[in-house]
Structures are given as C-alpha cells and as structure tokens.
Amino acid sequence: MAKGALAKENVKNTIKDAFGTNFIGEYDNKLYVWADDGSGKIQVSIALTCPKVYRGIEETGSSEMNFDDDATEPVNEFKPADITPDEQDTLEELMKKLGL
C-alpha cells in the first residue's frame, strides 16, 4: 500500500459523509461533489495528495495557514551554462553543415 493511502481513504470517507447526497463519486483519483455557488449547484473536484513538505497552522489561534515560514530552500535563478570556445566552433561548424 502506498504511503498515505490509508490517510487519503479516511479523508475521502470524511468528505463523503460531510457532503452526503451531494457527494457524486470518485473518478481519475479525484473526488467530485455538488456545491452551491449562489446561482445553482456546480461540480467541484477535489484532488487528494500527501505533501512532502508539511505546512503548519500559525499559533495565533487563527485557522489560517502560515505559508510565510517556508522550510524549503528558495529556487535559484536560472543561469545558462557558459559555452567554451571549442563548443562555439563546433556549433558554428554544425550550423554551416546544416545550412542554418
């Protein structure tokens, strides 16, 4: 059994119970429910995943998620590789041969 499979099954059952007759079913690893958007019922799909990096609730008594204290490293900016003179010569030769 995959890691998190039992947890996702428990969450699915909780959602199913909470939505009652508005729970449509499961298709392609997503749960489908009916929800009122103010002008009528629409379908909402819910994908269940188990994140590798956990996010916590701020300890302010609020139920808001705290995304400011990210424990992961920031993504570095892309830096293209330097082309050596040999590589540049090879590139020019190939472009001539290919008529580019």
DSSP states of 40-85 as a string?
SEEEEEEE----SS---B-TTS---B--SS--SPPPPPP-PPPPPH
Residue 83 included in any domain: no
Residue 4 included in any domain: yes
Res 51: pLDDT: 84
Residue 2 included in any domain: yes
Residue 77 included in any domain: no
Provide the domain limits for residue 26.
Answer: 1-50
Per-residue pLDDT of the chain in tens (100 residues, 90 and over written 9): 778 889 999 999 999 999 999 999 999 989 999 999 999 999 999 999 888 877 765 555 556 665 565 555 666 677 788 889 999 999 999 999 999 8
Res 29: pLDDT: 87
Res 62: pLDDT: 58
Task: Please state the pTM of the whole predicted model.
Answer: 0.54
Tell me how many domains the chain contains: 1
